[in-house]
Amino acid sequence: MINVGIVGATGYGGVELVRLLLARDDVNLCKLSSVSFEGKKISEIYPMLYGICDDVLDTQDKVVDACDVVFAALPHGLSQTLAKECIEKGKIFIDLGADFRLEDEETYKKWYGCSFEDKALQDSAIYGLCELNRDKLRGARLIANPGCYPTSIALGLFPALKNKFCSTKGIIIDSKSGATGAGRGLTQTTHFTELNEGFAAYKVGSHRHTPEIEQTLSKMAGEDIAVTFVPHLLPINRGIESTIYADMNPEYTLLQIHDAYVDFYKNEKFVTVMPLGTAANVRNVRMTNQCQISLHEDKHTGRLIISSVIDNMVKGAAGQAIQNMNLALGLPEDRGLPILAPAF
């Protein structure tokens, strides 16, 4: 049995971890913490857990003491100290936040306003995009779980960048996310009556995921990549769709590129390249750890258009974190991770 704990269990990332981990018979979900609801049962906050998980929410310290694997789903900036403590105590630490995602401290400072507290610790963190860093993640102790937008985008572009199917210049990414991406905290923007029947871009050209996207794409391409990234908020609960525009390499046909994508991902359990002529839809990956990708071409302008969809709370957060745990512990990578979305 793996003794697992969650710090920040009542946030959306946290409770999604609870849901997925409760389905495991090899995991002992032994301690949950929450600053806001300490002392309450988690089923008081989330009544679907009533009678299934009525654990009392405890402190962060208790989680660290009780568990061998610690997931942290905390506001940005709060994971660095906790990670250090966990690593020193021999725990595996998987951070769902952004504190260990960026390699460059200046970039981190610029976008998040914090410094690296421990440069060596930062250097030891593995960026948990399994499809990119699988080998390093096996046996890893400190894992930075990727952001939701970056996951959808990086998986959509990986084979194209690797094989130079498109130019690395001028990539434009238009992403749309369901409302769980904004978390459990109440805002006017996510008040039902103000999101329902609405749609808008937000943080245009200034979303914090931009440097993470560029860092990952640059690694994939082997050269520096700058992108234009614009997120939008969808009036649905779950799902990210990223439509990616890139100048297509005229040496290849769409069919060749599609074949190469299928081949590239043929051993990946959680990436599916959809048949040509269909378009990826967020509803087909809901509640699953899958990324589905569809490929398109605008012939008259010579553009490759990639649509990549994930469930932002599973492959974009809790599911990928568990995939990382499985890798870190040497377990089958897909254990406990759903791949089949409900049809409705």
Residues tagged active-site: 148
Residue 58 CB, nearest approach to a second copy (Å):
19
51 touching a second copy, by CB under 8 A: yes
Angle of CA points 210, 213, 219, to nearest 5°: 140
The site for a second copy, by CB under 8 A, has a size of 87
The tokens describing 183, both together, are 């978390």
Name the burial class of residue 329, with classes exposed (0-12), middle (13-18) and buried (19+) by CB atoms within 10 angstroms of its CB.
middle
Sole window of 62-70, 96-104, 111-119, 187-195 interacting with a second copy (rule: CB under 8 A): 187-195
Alpha carbon of 56 to those of 6, 123, 128, 177: distances in Å? Answer: 12, 35, 30, 32
235 touching a second copy, by CB under 8 A: yes
Residue 4 CB, nearest approach to a second copy (Å):
16
Residues 236-295 that bind a second copy (CB under 8 A): 236-239, 241, 243, 245, 272, 274-275, 278-287, 292, 294
> Which one of 89, 117, 136, 199 is in contact with a second copy (CB under 8 A)?
199
> Which one of 106, 172, 223, 253 is in contact with a second copy (CB under 8 A)?
172
Beta bridge partners of 294: 307
> Which one of 88, 90, 192, 267 is in contact with a second copy (CB under 8 A)?
192
Residue 162 CB, nearest approach to a second copy (Å):
22
The tokens describing 211, both together, are 């440097």
Residue closer to a second copy by CB (options 76, 184) is: 184
Binding mask 26-45 for a second copy (x = CB under 8 A): --------------------
299 touching a second copy, by CB under 8 A: yes
Residue 300 CB, nearest approach to a second copy (Å):
6
Residue closer to a second copy by CB (options 236, 329) is: 236
Residue 247 CB, nearest approach to a second copy (Å):
8
Residue closer to a second copy by CB (options 97, 239) is: 239
> Which one of 152, 168, 180, 320 is in contact with a second copy (CB under 8 A)?
180
55 touching a second copy, by CB under 8 A: no
317 touching a second copy, by CB under 8 A: no
Residue closer to a second copy by CB (options 113, 188) is: 188
Sole window of 66-74, 101-109, 131-139, 199-207 interacting with a second copy (rule: CB under 8 A): 199-207
CB 79 within 8 A of CB 89: no
Name the burial class of residue 293, with classes exposed (0-12), middle (13-18) and buried (19+) by CB atoms within 10 angstroms of its CB.
buried
β-sheet with 92-95: strand ranges across = 27-33, 2-7, 69-72, 92-95, 142-144, 126-127
DSSP result, 48-107: GGTTT--PBPB-HHHHHHH-SEEEE---TTSHHHHHHHHHHTT-EEEE-SSTTT-S-HHH
Task: Give the burial string for 194-212 (b: 16+ CB within 10 Å, else e).
Answer: ebeeeeeeeeeeebbbbbb
CB 318 within 8 A of CB 96: yes
| C-alpha Rg value of the chain to the nearest Å | 20
